[in-house]
Amino acid sequence: MIKRASNDHPIHELLAKRWSPYAFDGRPVPKADLLSLFEAARWAASSYNEQPWSYIVATKEEPAEFEKLLSCLVEGNQGWAKAAPVLAIGVASLHFKLNGKPNKAAIHDLGLAACSLTFEATARGLAVHQMIGILPERARELYAIPQGYEAVTGIAIGYAGDPNQLPDHLKQRDLAPRTRKPLGDFLFGGTWGSPSSWARVIP
């Protein structure tokens, strides 16, 4: 299933094609592709090159590990995410290794890495659906995540599947077009809420 952005200005094809399906088919992800996804995350930018991201990953080829990771998602996400062949938890390190000071960019930079991972996935015909709806303290307990680290996101990885396999409320989401607020609603200059003069060319 293809769900292109209805963009107002040209953007790279892989950004226009990226979307977050609820339906995944069961086809496993080749290991080489998975490694490239995390390699893409590895080369993301980060404040002071701290690379504050870590990932716990489970594939369906190890059912017990997969169930364990699935149990760290909130119930509403478990329902659809269990169809994905790969699940991951994105973990942020909250302090700089060098001096122990809080890293204000940690969660932001986890997002940079996640986006790189997703971009690489799109390039390989894969889809990624990220979730903030996880159980961080359950993840900490099950995986012995140390203090100073925080489980932030769940990540489902696989091939987009048939929306007809979904319960109705999720099927509707997968079938609905992608929507975004207009550029002029969030691109400001001079003062909050008013477009900068160069952006006044926006329709």
- Classify burial at 49, counting beta carbons within 10 Å of its beta carbon; exposed 0-12, middle 13-18, buried 19 or more: exposed
The answer to whether residue 192 forms part of the interface with its own copies (CB under 8 A) is yes
Q: Which stretch binds its own copies (CB under 8 A): 76-84, 142-150, 160-168?
A: 142-150
**Unique residue bearing structure tokens 């809080």:** 102
Of the candidate residues 98, 101, 144, 168, the single one contacting its own copies (CB under 8 A): 144
Q: Show the tokens assigned to 151.
A: 């489980």
CB of 162 to its own copies, least distance (A): 21
The answer to whether residue 141 forms part of the interface with its own copies (CB under 8 A) is no
Residue nearer to its own copies on the CB measure, 98 or 144: 144
Neighbours of 112 (CB within 10 A): 17
Q: Report the alpha-carbon distance of residue 92 to residue 156 in Å, rounded.
A: 18
CB of 83 to its own copies, least distance (A): 19
CB of 136 to its own copies, least distance (A): 10
CB of 25 to its own copies, least distance (A): 19
Residue nearer to its own copies on the CB measure, 20 or 165: 20
Q: Which stretch binds its own copies (CB under 8 A): 77-85, 163-171, 183-191?
A: 183-191
CB of 79 to its own copies, least distance (A): 17
Interface positions, 28-87, toward its own copies (CB under 8 A)? 31-32, 34-36, 38-40, 42-45, 47, 49, 51, 53-59, 61-62, 65
Q: Report the alpha-carbon distance of residue 149 to residue 152 in Å, rounded.
A: 9
Q: Report the alpha-carbon distance of residue 29 to residue 119 in Å, rounded.
A: 16
Q: Which residues pair with 153 in a beta bridge?
A: 90
Of the candidate residues 73, 81, 84, 152, the single one contacting its own copies (CB under 8 A): 152
The answer to whether residue 119 forms part of the interface with its own copies (CB under 8 A) is yes
Q: Quick one: which of 42, 50, 139 has its CA closest to 95? A: 50
User: Which string of DSSP letters, residue by residue, matches 63-81?
Assistant: HHHHHHHHTTB-HHHHHHH
The answer to whether residue 99 forms part of the interface with its own copies (CB under 8 A) is no
- Side-chain half-sphere exposure of 42, counting CA atoms within 13 A: 6
Q: Which residues pair with 24 in a beta bridge?
A: 160
The answer to whether residue 199 forms part of the interface with its own copies (CB under 8 A) is yes
